[in-house]
Amino acid sequence: MRRSPSRVIGEMDRTSTRGPSREGKLSARVLKQISTEVLSAAGLSQADAELVADTLVQADLWGHQSHGLLRLQAYVARLKSGAVAVHGKPSLVRELGPIAVLDGANAMGQVVAKAAIDLAVERAKQFGIGAISVRNSNHFGTAMYFTRLAARRGCIGFMATNASPAMPPWGGRTKAVGTNPWSWAAPAGEHVPMILDIANTAVARGKIHLARQRGEQIPEGWALDEQGASTTSPDAALAGVTLPMAGHKGYGIALMMDVLAGVLSGSGFGPDVAGPFQSEKPGRVGHFVLALNIEAFISLEEFDQRQEELIASIKRNKLAEGAAEILYPGEREALLADTSAKNGIDLPGETIAALEVLCAEYGLPEPHHSSRE
């Protein structure tokens, strides 16, 4: 029998039951059920709600809480305001062999991104390569959720997206360029897929939101305040600017990703892009998706073998002082996901409180505050 949100939230471990400081653990299954029901109540179809919920929970499993359930309340606010089209469905507006342009119809970013990666893989299987340009989308969470889908289907996947302004141009001090993250994913033989997912800022802006939610300071070098001074305050950082990674290199990469995702697609770019915490402005987010069919270049069996050899060569490296293990991109997330799947996901108290508020708002049964049964 399907259990109500009040029942499953009651399965949490909590250190306290008062205010946003309380924290607790939920299983991935419980979190997905709660968030699916909330998103369905906000108007999404069951299939779309399940997809969005899965992306959020998977981010939390991977340890990327900046893109996990922390985002749910903001997503719901955008659905309620009409900033995101509840029933939006992506459609083809242009195609030429392996190339296609997809209009996201202002749907949830996850719905658009899934359609884009599926189309890219489909074209790659037919032509060896699939290149999809996407306009009129929204924030979609972690890019690696979608590039991983290409890797599972025998492709190398790439995805870039633009984002609302967060960093200054090199030499500037006001927001002008988005974090504009990008991801690559590839099969790795007997290992979990090799996946790289990075923003071009010193840190993903969501991690500053997470630090604010936890009442923590942020490290030096992440951000500047409104006066252009370095800050360790997440509130000051959110009011100011996030710094690029690797100085001018991060700024340059971010700008080029906006060319790929925004300018090329016909979508918004630069200051025209709205972020997930802007509750009433359509996102106008653009994406660029690429899939390479490995079998068009080399047999998948040989590719896997060569990937295993590459990983082995990396892991044979002598450990630096203080290092316990050498990991390849995506391996850390896979290990964390295994642990969290077994032990439950730790959530900040404010995220738990937001889940309770959302359940109450949509007439879902009031969450219990008891400890795990």
Residues tagged active-site: 139
CA distance linking residue 72 with residue 57, whole number of Å: 10
CA distance linking residue 335 with residue 210, whole number of Å: 22
Closest alpha carbon to 291 in 110, 98, 96: 98
- Residue 163 contacts residue 179 (beta carbons within 8 Å): yes
Q: Give CB contacts under 8 A, 24+ apart, made by 41-49.
A: 41/362, 41/363, 41/364, 42/76, 42/79, 42/80, 42/86, 42/362, 43/79, 43/86, 43/87, 44/79, 44/86, 44/108, 45/87, 48/107, 48/108, 48/110, 48/111
Partners of 243 in the β-ladder? none
- Mark out the alpha helices in 201-347 (DSSP H runs): 205-214, 234-239, 248-258, 300-315, 331-343
Closest alpha carbon to 162 in 85, 59, 255, 99: 255
| 3-state percent breakdown (helix, strand, coil) of the chain, nearest 5 | 45, 20, 40
Radius of gyration of the chain from its Cα atoms, rounded to whole angstroms: 21
CA distances from 93 to 99, 260, 266 (A): 11, 17, 11
Question: Longest C-alpha distance within the chain, in Å?
Answer: 59
- Residue 359 contacts residue 367 (beta carbons within 8 Å): yes
